[in-house]
């Protein structure tokens, strides 16, 4: 039995609308996943689903009886949805972002550190690449776009649920901790000291990817133990950060396979 909502003054509905803002997402530790695939992926991956919202007349392809389900009138759902093709279903998901300093360095040997990534589409694509190539943990600097931004959620697909996410608000403390624990902190630079394809990636590697416009910040650059550049034959000066990240993660994965760690 669905909980029907027909008034825009309903408390849950007002909260649902507020979840479109980063402030409310951070305040409530919840985000929205919209569309059949996103919701069913969340169910499949056993995400911490607070509730599911459907538009009146929606016929689910999965059993929703285990969840609290709200049914909105067509008008209210139209006002609450985030995309044109919402497919009539969305989920409110609880999340918890742990501090980077809490990462178990005995288990997380391949770490991706994102230094002020600002574009939601890029971040979502990076999450998918990290998932595909076996990254153990993703660390987001305090200057990164909200990882639960609706555009990030859509472009990351289920990968948002598959790779452990952490935030770094420590300044340089976390990277210094990695360095003191023997991690090779690898940064990509247009004028790196060696080609990324020739670098010998260690079992304990932290890959750093920088901001779309400014690259890796000076503060983080100083802590990089290796500075590489991606070989290119064309005339472009650089790659999109999500593309560059995919190349780097693939090369790190190949080294991992060669060590017999796959």
Residues 176 and 238 in one domain: yes
Residues 155 and 70 in one domain: no
Residues 128 and 216 in one domain: yes
Q: What is the pLDDT of residues 173-217, one digit of tens each?
A: 999 999 999 999 999 998 899 999 999 999 999 999 999 999 999
Residues 206 and 120 in one domain: yes
Which among 94, 117, 148 is the end of a domain?
A: 94
Residues 86 and 125 in one domain: no
Which among 53, 76, 94 is the end of a domain?
A: 94
Q: How confident is the model at residue 84 (pLDDT cuts 50, 70, 90)?
A: low
101 by DSSP, 3-state: which? helix
Average pLDDT over residues 101-127: 96
Domain count, the chain: 2
> What is the model's pLDDT at position 238?
82
d(Cα 28, Cα 97) in Å, to the nearest integer? 12
Query: Would you say 209 and 113 are in contact if contact means Cβ atoms under 8 Å apart?
Result: yes
Q: CATH number of the domain that 21 lies in?
A: 3.30.1330.30
Token code pair at residue 252 = 């790190």
Residues 78 and 45 in one domain: yes
**Domain range enclosing 215:** 98-258
Q: How confident is the model at residue 81 (pLDDT cuts 50, 70, 90)?
A: confident
Residues 63 and 87 in one domain: yes
> What is the model's pLDDT at position 260?
86
> What is the model's pLDDT at position 207?
98
Q: Which residue has the higher pLDDT, 68 or 236?
A: 68
Q: What is the pLDDT of residues 35-48, one digit of tens each?
A: 989 999 999 999 99
Angle at 10 between CA 7 and CA 15, to 5 degrees: 125
Residues 167 and 233 in one domain: yes
Residues 17 and 120 in one domain: no
β-pair type (137-141, 30-34): unpaired
Residues 150 and 219 in one domain: yes
Residues 147 and 88 in one domain: no
Query: Would you say 61 and 113 are in contact if contact means Cβ atoms under 8 Å apart?
Result: no
């Amino acid at each position: 039995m669905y909980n029907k909502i027909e008034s825009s003054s309903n408390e849950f509905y007002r909260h649902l609308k507020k979840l479109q803002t980063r402030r409310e997402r951070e305040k409530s530790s919840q985000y929205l996943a919209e569309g059949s695939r996103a919701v069913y992926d969340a169910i499949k991956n056993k995400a911490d689903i607070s509730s599911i919202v459907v538009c009146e007349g929606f016929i689910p392809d999965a059993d929703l009886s285990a969840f609290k389900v709200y049914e909105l009138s067509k008008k209210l759902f139209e006002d609450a949805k985030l995309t044109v093709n919402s497919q009539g279903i969305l989920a409110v998901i609880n999340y918890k972002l742990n501090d980077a300093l809490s990462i178990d360095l005995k288990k997380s040997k391949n770490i991706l550190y994102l230094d002020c990534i600002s574009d939601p589409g890029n971040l979502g694509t990076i999450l998918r690449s990290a998932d595909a190539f076996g990254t153990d943990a993703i660390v987001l600097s305090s200057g990164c776009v909200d990882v639960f931004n609706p555009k990030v959620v859509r472009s990351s697909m289920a990968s948002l649920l598959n790779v452990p996410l952490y935030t770094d608000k420590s300044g340089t403390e976390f990277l210094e901790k990695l360095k003191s624990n023997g991690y090779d902190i690898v940064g990509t630079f247009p004028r790196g000291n060696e080609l990324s394809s020739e670098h010998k990636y260690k079992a304990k590697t932290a890959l750093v990817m920088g901001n779309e416009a400014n690259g890796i910040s000076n503060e983080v650059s100083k802590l990089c133990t290796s500075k590489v550049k991606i070989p290119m034959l064309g005339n472009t000066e650089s790659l999109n950060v999500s593309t560059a990240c995919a190349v780097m993660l693939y090369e790190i994965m190949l080294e991992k396979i060669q060590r017999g760690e796959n």
